[in-house]
Amino acid sequence: MDHNSTLFNTPHLTTVEVWPELEFNWRLVLATVIGFVGSACGTVGGVGGGGIFVPMLTLIVGFDTKSAAAISKCMIMGASAASVWYNVRVQHPTKEVPIIDYELALLFQPMLMLGITVGVALSVVFPYWLITVLIIILFIGTSSRSFYKGIEMWKEETILKKELTRQQGTLNSRGELLIDAEYEPLVPREEKSTLEILCLNLRWKRLLVLTTVWFLFTLIQVIKNDLVPCTTLYWVLFCLQFPIAVLVFGYEAMKLWRENRKRMMTGNTESICEASIQWSTLNITFCALCGILGGTVGGLLGSGGGFILGPLLLEIGVIPQVASATATFVMMFSSSLSVVEFYLLKRFPIPYALYLMGVSILAGFWGQYLVRKIILILRRASIIVFILSGVIFASALTMGVIGIETTIGMINNHEFMGFLDFCSSQ
């Protein structure tokens, strides 16, 4: 995908490449602090944090918008990779299954990558003001919905804590509190050894499929970037991404649909995966559209699809710990795809990218560690949901302010505010 155009980097705005030197000063210190906090909160919430990184890199550090979007991807990749490494070494809160839901990852990853391709193409055509309006509406909507979801979970957890207080004197033979099954999903289970958890969390066949999809998409983008836009071969490669994504999605969707139908016929009400919804044709179609929408937003912003995927997983009934782990896992693939492409195109300074990626790696690991400890102490997994909501809302504010300010500047300069032609804008 051609990342020449995002919300912070559209053909309407001509930018000159600006790469500040990596040197110790107040800008670097402030960028380190914001990058660390943003990466920690972004990975915990499963949204990445691109909506915070790009404004930080342009307004504080002084990068041009193209380079800022590229370095932002490096930071997201580093934070998500560290988060995934941490997550595969911790067990599922309530079940003997991986904390990463590979079924949902296989369902959403191909559509997310396809959506990113669509989003990048639309960012070339859409006027800057329209992208800004869409992002503000979408981010405020998802942030509000996630916040409401967090409040609901907080109330449920309050009931749990009262139940624990009531049962303080009721212990089993092992000296453990007896918890009603209704509240069990909010209570961590007994820890296993790290090696046992690691073996349980890794599903090599599914990882192979996900890696293959990632490789094919990356290969197409690398080849396509060397072609003249709008040539026959360019469009052939562009369209080739659709059958790849649809094939993988269709296979996983059909498997979920058949298993759902089989269980309904036998009266089995157990969920097939972490999602609590019925895998009907309507719900599968809804998930496909949301996956494409999430990728499209990522393509428009140059950020990632976590802003949609994280809230969506919560909406379909995935518990916060698994939603965060799964969204971050999928985001690792989409962000690394962009980093490979940006590296080949020499879009970012290596020293600065390595430094900020190192900050994000530490933040991704320690963010997961600290939040998990807080959840164990407070017994409130809703903390993850509130963090997710906060990151999305902060992104809406930063992107909205910058977008509105830039749009006003374009109006004052009498710049063109309509739709552009895709081929002539490349």
How far apart (Å, rounded) are the C-alpha atoms in residues 412 and 96? 60
* Residue 278 burial class via C-beta count within 10 angstroms: exposed 0-12, middle 13-18, buried 19 and up: middle
Q: What local confidence, expressed as pLDDT, does residue 5 receive?
A: 43
Q: What local confidence, expressed as pLDDT, does residue 248 receive?
A: 92
CB-CB contact of 341 with 3 (8 Å): yes
CB-CB contact of 86 with 362 (8 Å): no
Spans in the chain with pLDDT lower than 50: 1-5, 14, 171, 173, 177-188
pTM, rounded to two decimals:
0.84
Q: What local confidence, expressed as pLDDT, does residue 426 receive?
A: 59
CB-CB contact of 382 with 157 (8 Å): yes
How far apart (Å, rounded) are the C-alpha atoms in residues 421 and 426? 9
Backbone phi and psi for residue 235, each to the nearest 5 degrees, phi listed first: -70, -30
The most distant pair of C-alpha atoms in the chain lies apart, rounded to whole Å, by: 77
- Give the tokens for residue 98: 């991986």
Cα–chain-centroid distance for residue 109? 10
Q: Write the CB contacts of 273 (distance below 8 Å, at least 6 apart in sequence).
A: 101, 103, 104, 256
3-state SS of 131-187?
Answer: HHHHHHHHHHHHHHHHHHHHHHHHHHHHHHHHHHHHCCCCECCCCCECCCHHHHHHC
Q: Write the CB contacts of 383 (distance below 8 Å, at least 6 apart in sequence).
A: 320, 371, 374, 375
How far apart (Å, rounded) are the C-alpha atoms in residues 43 and 80? 6
How far apart (Å, rounded) are the C-alpha atoms in residues 28 and 423? 39
Q: What torsion do the CA atoms of 16, 344, 127, 56 make, to the nearest 10 degrees?
A: -60
Q: What DSSP designation does 57 have?
A: I
What is the amino acid identity at position 47?
V
pLDDT, tens digit, 9 for 90 and up, residues 271-292: 777 777 788 888 888 888 888 8
Q: What local confidence, expressed as pLDDT, does residue 268 receive?
A: 72
